[in-house]
Amino acid sequence: MSKTTAILDGKLVAQARRAALGEKVSLFRRAYSRSPGLAVVRVGSDPASEIYVRHKVEACESAGIKSFHIEKPATISQEELEKLIDELNANPDVDGILVQLPLPKGLNETKATERILPSKDPDGLTSGNLGLLLAGRARVAPCTPLGVMKILEHYKIDVEGLSAVVVGRSNIVGKPMAQLLLESNATVTIAHSKTKNLRDVTRAADLVVVAAGKPRLLGKDDFKPGAIVIDVGIHRVAHDGGKSKLCGDVRSEELLGHAKALTPVPGGVGPMTIQMLLENTLTLSELRQKRNI
Ligand code: NDP
């Protein structure tokens, strides 16, 4: 059993990287006489999306990235949304386009995402970018799994040779997470809702990334002593006195003194996701300048 559990502080890692990013953005501005630009498109009035978008826009400003914040009513048609994306694809000041998901009912998220040029896709979610990732030639990797890799790197956790389990197989988290761990020479298993005896699978792993989207799904008995546990889940749940609080997919209080290392919720993977969005935007800006596109 690990006596102490290291808390992998994603907020701290993101802050350190934000300062470094600010310097890189200044260099970019000096070299090309413009700022990198990120367009954030929000459709409808989902309150959670509103908060996420506000955080993204504020983060852009803090790093010197120009943000284009575009809001459209839920009544926008698929055709109008795609036309907007086409205009942003053609706008030379825009290096990255993000369509905040989920979209209101009636709009096709896959079609909207695929409309973004892969060269302007800082989320790394177009099939073009996911394909490059799978081929080992990533332009940009999806932000959340990339953020997990950067946390591990910051804390000098070398995953080479480790047995890693990723719980979840979404395109946005689980699959690219598995691919990034594989590229770093971990031996990777992907678990999902049809996995039999999940506990046996996770208990065998040195490193477990939990992205099941189920509040407090896994606890102490699901991990071997000394495991490294990355909790990607984020949920707002009811708390005492009608208040609510955030929790992850892991019952983290059970893991203190049991796991070797653990990401907290909040303050773990979440802050890194936004930071990676900014870093990916700068990467795309630099690529566009170099290739003159
Ligand atoms: P999805 O709902 O798209 O995917 C969840 C995955 O978990 C699916 O593959 C599903 O399996 C699997 N799963 C569900 N229940 C179980 C179970 N009981 N046992 C094993 N596997 C299970 O979610 P996302 O990947 O988009 O997100 C996952 C979590 O991460 C969510 O809580 C989300 O809020 C959070 N998140 C956090 C971010 C951050 O910045 N911190 C960013 C993005 C997401 P199947 O495929 O069989 O259905």
- pLDDT per residue as tens digits for the range 158-208: 999 999 999 999 999 999 999 999 999 999 999 999 999 999 999 999 999
How many CB atoms sit inside 10 A of residue 48's CB? 10
Q: Do residues 228 and 206 lie in contact, with contact meaning Cβ atoms separated by under 8 Å?
A: yes
pLDDT given at position 135: 97
Average pLDDT value for residue range 82-91: 98
Q: How far apart are CA 70 and CA 171, in angstroms?
A: 25
Query: Is the pLDDT confidence value at 1 over 70?
Result: no
Q: Which of 95, 120, 121, 123 is catalytic?
A: 123
Average pLDDT value for residue range 212-241: 95
Q: How far apart are CA 140 and CA 34, in angstroms?
A: 21
pLDDT in tens, 50-76: 999 999 999 999 999 999 999 999 999
pLDDT band of residue 28 (cuts 50, 70, 90) is very high
**Exposure on the CB side of residue 276, measured as CA atoms within 13 A:** 21
- Residue written as token pair 């203190």: 256
pLDDT in tens, 29-39: 999 999 999 99
Query: Separation of 212 CA from ligand 1 center, angstroms?
Result: 3
Structure tokens at 37: 């630009």
Using a 10 angstrom Cβ sphere, with 0-12 exposed, 13-18 middle and 19 or more buried, the burial of residue 293 is exposed
**Which residues surround ligand 1 with Cβ inside 6 Å?**
144, 167-170, 172-174, 191-195, 198, 211-214, 217, 232-235, 269-270, 273
pLDDT given at position 33: 97
**Nearest Cα residue to atom 42 of ligand 1:** 144
Query: Separation of 211 CA from ligand 1 center, angstroms?
Result: 4
Average pLDDT value for residue range 46-50: 89
How many percent of the chain have pLDDT more than 70?
A: 99
Query: Separation of 170 CA from ligand 1 center, angstroms?
Result: 7
pLDDT in tens, 242-268: 889 999 999 999 999 999 999 999 999
Please state the atom number of ligand 1 nearest to the C-alpha of residue 171.
Answer: 25
